[in-house]
Chain A
Amino acid sequence: ETGVTQSPTHLIKTRGQQVTLRCSSQSGHNTVSWYQQALGQGPQFIFQYYREEENGRGNFPPRFSGLQFPNYSSELNVNALELDDSALYLCASSLPDRVGEQFFGPGTRLTVL
């Protein structure tokens, strides 16, 4: 059974640029959630995808967007990067009837300069 994988591991961007982060869900999991974790804080929910549709969204601006593909993998896109976007971005997958039991990837560390 393959766990959740994310790429890249680390990324450095400058303010105003755009970034795409990728996530492959655990085998058989068709629900993917994305979280942002600032240093020293708990993860904050960005949005969730189920069957290629956004299923719910947290308190993040529209410049945070996502996609889910037919193989359940997912992308997080962030436009017009700001310094405060520097964080660990976590992807988690789950089964739709067990959405509270989420399996997290190792995260992508984004640094915005």
Chain B
Amino acid sequence: DAKTTQPTSMDCAEGRAANLPCNHSTISGNEYVYWYRQIHSQGPQYIIHGLKNNETNEMASLIITEDRKSSTLILPHATLRDTAVYYCIVRHDYKLSFGAGTTVTVRA
């Protein structure tokens, strides 16, 4: 599976957009980018995924660069409840390979 690189941590102001970067320079043509988050003491939660086109759902937007070597997860209006560890995953087959993720702290 392609390896991903994410910043260890980032802060965000409540009500502002949070932009979470992820590098996946070794991604293959048939590998999808998935984002999950894990709020403290809970199981991970699926957010969004994409292959090459930008995607949007009720939780977030996913922007994938044209060369597919990086992506950005956008939380449009961060709230305190968005404080969590966010994982960027490149999935090739049946399993999800989680890295260390980015610890996002939303501050009032």
Contacts and interface: CB of A to CB of B under 8 A. Distances in A.
Interface string A22-43: 0000000000010100000111
| Residues of A in contact with B, size category | 20 to 34
B43 A4 contact: yes
Interface stretch (A64-72, A78-86, A96-104): A96-104
Contacts, number: 51
Contacts of A58: 95
Contacts of A104: 43-45
A20 interface: no
Nearest to B93: A56
Contacts of A43: 44, 96, 98
| Residues of B in contact with A, size category | 20 to 34
B contact face: mostly helix, strand, loop, or mixed: loop
B49 A100 contact: yes
B99 interface: yes
A101 B46 contact: yes
B46 A48 contact: no
B43 A100 contact: no
Contacts of A55: 94
Nearest to B34: A100
Nearest to A57: B95
A102 B34 CA distance: 11
Nearest to A91: B43
A56 B94 contact: yes
A103 B46 CA distance: 7
20 contacts: A33-B94, A33-B95, A42-B87, A42-B100, A42-B101, A43-B96, A43-B98, A45-B95, A45-B96, A56-B93, A56-B94, A56-B95, A90-B44, A92-B43, A100-B32, A100-B91, A102-B44, A103-B46, A106-B42, A106-B43
